[in-house]
Structure 1
């Protein structure tokens, strides 16, 4: 190829610098934040990713699955750029991270079987009774300490791998109390309305918390730019409405 023709060819090829910057968005199975249905990922995280990509073309947000216990290291070692959605009350203060503006609010609730003779007394002091909880999750009754050894040594806690196992264990009588997110329970009520008759929800939640995104200082998108996108997402009110729909039947 002649030099002149080569230079024209180089000039005609789109510059790689103009390609969208990939932002790896971490998510793990939790409530209606992220779950699987018919083998496909569902929840508000995939929906928010679609909306973020639709708002602009500077960044390309991509889903990257992790686990509740691995998410901290995955973010800090660069496997992820940010995690949707998290609470700043969880283990994050131990790490050098940044928090986005609040996006939605969630709560964790106490459940027992409708067949319990005195549910009010049971909920009055939950720490005095066996409880089913999720490994790697944070609970208000334990001051958000998710260390499994701490939970087992200080409380009568049985740990399961996800909220489905917690609810199924409660229904099977494995413990008198189970803790799940409001979003998860709403999803189960929607799929099986008969559960309403089998469960009693505690009057007070275990915890109520804002969900934000967690970024590192090396994340592919700067915090101020991400917050600007969050503000645009929330401005139309559709994210709030979507969250409300995902909690239909259970206040979130």
Structure 2
């Protein structure tokens, strides 16, 4: 009959073998902001988000095991508070001018460029001059977004008063308002407009896009100072995806440009202004 102490020791040894590798391999959880920003972050369906950000996080999780990047749903306006309170560690596809002034963060240049474009209904007598003056036109805007033409002021009352804006929570609705004559100009990302026309080919040729843009989106990732992953490590992972071609495969189908990033300029630490 085996000695009880030997049996106990054997059980502890077996338990250590079973638990040890899983503990060693446990990845540190990094929570990423999932604010609605199509085609980057679409609607959450059965607690899973659609869009390009989930694809990016999957790629980041595939190339390493130290961190587990997890998408957490939040609202466009609430993401600042969630960031400050530590509910989210990283906000991706951001710009420091979009309300982040005064919030301590680390900054990583993602080397991705998109643009916010003006869109109107295409009519025979209408050309690029139509976009020269926004005053007096009915604008369809996304509630909570920061637009350059408005000085990045996202206050709904300001936008309604100064620019006769209708604010919604749907880019599709804004484009349909333009197509149906209920608004004169909508602002959407170039990538979203391409996606809209793929989903609704019947509207091809019915929309006029301005040659000039409201703003070029040079995307950044903003990390909390206490984030489990720091800016340097995150920039290194993005560079891995850039070099192996995964960033191109994810973003170029949406005409989002993948740009080279200088090693020493991709990482910045920003404190309170």
TM-score of the aligned structures, taking structure 2 as reference length: 0.82
Indicate whether 1:44 and 2:52 are aligned: yes
Q: Does 1:125 align with 2:130?
A: no
Residues 113-170 of structure 1: CA deviation (Å, up to 9, x unaligned) = 1137434343001233221100011111012121222222322211111211211222
- State the alpha-carbon separation in 2 of the partners of residues 16 and 238 from structure 1: 30
User: 2:178 and 2:228 mapped to 1: Cα distance?
Assistant: 42
What CA distance in whole angstroms lies between the structure 1 residues aligned with 2:253 and 2:186? 24
Contact 1:112 1:119 in 2 (8 A): no
Distance 1:38 1:221, change over 3 A: closer
Aligned residues: 248
Q: Of residues 123, 137, 148 in structure 2, which corresponds to 1:140?
A: 148
Partner of 2:123: 115
The correspondence of residues 62-141 of structure 1 with structure 2, limited to 5 A, is 62-115=70-123, 117-141=125-149
CA distance in 1, matches of 2:23, 2:45: 37
Whether the 8 Å CA contact 2:25–2:65 is kept in 1: the answer is no
Name the CA shift for 1:16/1:238 in 2 (closer, same or farther; >3 Å).
closer
Which of residues 227, 233, 251 is equivalent to 1:225?
233
Corresponding residue of 1:8: 13
Name the CA distance, whole Å, in 2 between partners of 1:119 and 1:76: 45
> Which secondary structure state, in structure 1, belongs to the residue aligned with residue 109 of structure 2?
coil
| Larger Rg, first or second structure (1 or 2) | 2
Say whether the 8 Å CA contact 2:40–2:53 is kept in structure 1: yes
Offset of residue 194 of structure 1: 2.5
Which secondary structure does the structure 2 equivalent of 1:91 belong to?
coil
Shift of 1:74: 1.3
Q: Which residue of 1 aligns with 2:29?
A: 22
Name 2:187's counterpart in structure 1.
179
Give the SS at the match of 1:202.
strand
**Take 1:37 and 1:7, find their aligned partners in 2: how far apart are those partners?**
44
Runs of at least 5 residues in structure 1 that lack an aligned partner in the other structure: none
- 1:32 aligns with 39
Q: For the structure 1 residues 9 and 242, does the alpha-carbon distance in structure 2 shift closer, same or farther, using more than 3 Å as the test?
A: closer
Residues 49-81 of structure 1, C-alpha deviations (whole Å, 9 max, x = no match): 111001100001111111211111111111111
Pick closer, same or farther for the CA change 1:38–1:102 going to 2, 3 Å.
Answer: closer
Aligned CA RMSD, in angstroms, stands at: 2.3
Q: Name the SS of the counterpart of 1:60 in structure 2.
A: strand
